[in-house]
Amino acid sequence: MYQVALKMLFGDLAKYLGLVFGVAFSTLLVNQQAGIFVGLITRGGSLIQDIPEADIWVMDPGVKNLDTSFPLRDTELARVRGATGLDWAVPFFKSTVTVRTANGELEGGLLLGLDDTTLIGIPQKFVLGSLEDLRPPDAVAVSAEAYRRIWPGEKPVQGKVLELNDRRAVVMAVVDARPQFTSSLTFYARYSRALMYAPTGRNKLSFILAKSVPGTDLQTVCDEIHRRTGLKALTSEQFRWKCIEYILKNTGIPVSFAAVIGLGIIVGVAIVGLLLNLLILENLRQYAALKAIGTRNSKLVKMVLLQALVVGGVGYGIGLGAAASFFEFAGNNDPNFKGFYLPWQVAAGSAALDGSIMILSALFSLRKVLFVDPAVVFRG
């Protein structure tokens, strides 16, 4: 009986291909948009991920994300260092700067000031140079994307000169940094030098990066810092999710992507439901004949579900492969898509979604099969 079901399915090649296309298109759209959405919002905390040495971030109590920092007094660093359970604490400066590119155009960038002694706060993977190359005056490091944007088509070399807020800077290192949510041009300099590139008011300290003593409970240390200084102290993971939550609540990104994903689901349901229903209607006489020779309704249900699962499996495989190929190609050839990928959770969720669509479409179409009169096979 199952071979008969497959012959019915493959017998009408146009409808079979239409069903596969509907499932594949829906799968591609859902996985592509969901993957881009995940990659985009996680950029909100990419700076935190680039500093794995620090497991605690200290900031003004009103800070909601990385882009709205409020400068702290320099004396707060000493107070934080006195907290029980800390191994070390260093200053961290963050500000926006204007950079002039090789063709004379102006671009907005992100300037990060690192502790003069330890240089904690820079990504660990260097494309060019090393930490020690940031010691000389005017020395800065740039992200690989920033170098590509400022000097397009040129191979990274040390000694390139640029202007940051109308001040001279010499590129001595290039690092492989994660793309930021607000800017793709990231510059790194020693804390004392960064303050000269981006003059501020009386208070200059953006954040305090800290490391707890191994084996110490992070939340306990954060609570101790807050009790001692009145500042907000969050673990790196807590702060990263706080930044992501801010994007979700205060931008239109979730609604926009949800609308596109919803349209993909609707298109898939409409195409699959319509074509599967037409396929069953055209084979209604065959189902009636099977009922006439004693085939039970349970067997007919399994036959229709088999057709739905075959279509769903083939369509899902094609759609998922196309989505994975998109991220692989875009990630390797377009720097704007760096860091975007297809999470396995999204792939698994779309598989469950496609399975539900196929099963519901099959069950909706089954009503005619279950109530068909076997006598129709003997009518002209």
Residue with tokens 């099959």: 362
Let me know if 53 is exposed, middle or buried by CB neighbors in 10 A (0-12, 13-18, 19+): middle
pLDDT in tens, 371-380: 666 665 555 5
Residue 368, token pair as written in the block = 């005619």
Cβ proximity of 101 and 107 under 8 Å: yes
> What's the whole-model pTM score?
0.81
Q: How far is CA 9 from CA 2, 25, 271, 309, 362, in A?
A: 11, 20, 16, 11, 13
pLDDT in tens, 122-144: 998 899 989 899 998 889 999 98
pLDDT mean over 232-258: 90
Nearby residues of 180 by Cβ (< 8 Å), 6 or more positions away? 43, 46, 47, 110, 186
Cα–Cα distances in angstroms (integers) from residue 244 to residues 147, 183, 342, in the given order: 27, 16, 18
Are the C-beta atoms of 144 and 175 separated by less than 8 Å? yes
Of 223-232, 275-284, 322-331, the poorest mean pLDDT is in 275-284
Beta bridge partners of 210: 56, 89
57-92 tens-digit pLDDT: 999 999 888 888 888 998 999 999 999 999 999 999
Q: What is the residue-averaged pLDDT of the chain? A: 85
- Report the share of the chain in percent with pLDDT over 70: 92
Find all residues with CB under 8 Å of 350, minimum gap 6, and list them: 27, 30, 31, 34, 316, 319, 320
Contact (CB, 8 A) for 44 and 245: no
Please write the tens of the pLDDT for every residue from 298-355. Answer: 777 778 788 888 888 888 999 999 998 888 887 777 767 777 888 889 889 888 888 8
Res 372: pLDDT: 66
Give me the mean pLDDT over the 244-264 stretch: 87
Give the per-residue pLDDT at 218.
92
CA dihedral (138, 163, 204, 201) positive or negative:
positive
Residues 56, 89: Cα–Cα separation, whole Å: 9
User: Contact 31/350 with Cβ under 8 angstroms?
Assistant: yes
Q: How remote is the C-alpha of 57 from its chain's centroid?
A: 23
Whether residue 271 is predicted with pLDDT greater than 90 in this model: the reply is no
Nearest to 200 by CA among 108, 59, 95, 100: 95
Contact 123, 53 (CB under 8 A): no
Per DSSP, the three-state class of 100 is strand
pLDDT bucket at 357, cuts 50 / 70 / 90: confident
Residue 176 C-beta-side C-alpha neighbours within 13 Å: 6
Phi/psi of residue 155, each to 5°?
-75, 135
Task: Give the whole-angstrom CA distance, residue 233 versus residue 219.
Answer: 9
Strands 207-212 vs 139-143: parallel, antiparallel or unpaired: unpaired
What pLDDT, on a 0 to 100 scale, did the predictor assign at position 374?
Answer: 63
Bridge partner residues of 141 (DSSP):
173, 188
H-type alpha helices, the chain: 2-11, 13-42, 46-49, 75-81, 144-150, 191-197, 218-229, 236-250, 253-282, 284-292, 297-333, 344-370
Confidence band of 235 (pLDDT split at 50, 70, 90): very high
pLDDT per residue as tens digits for the range 157-191: 998 888 888 888 899 999 988 888 776 789 999 99
pLDDT of the residue at 370: 67
Query: What pLDDT score does 91 carry?
Result: 95
pLDDT for 1: 63
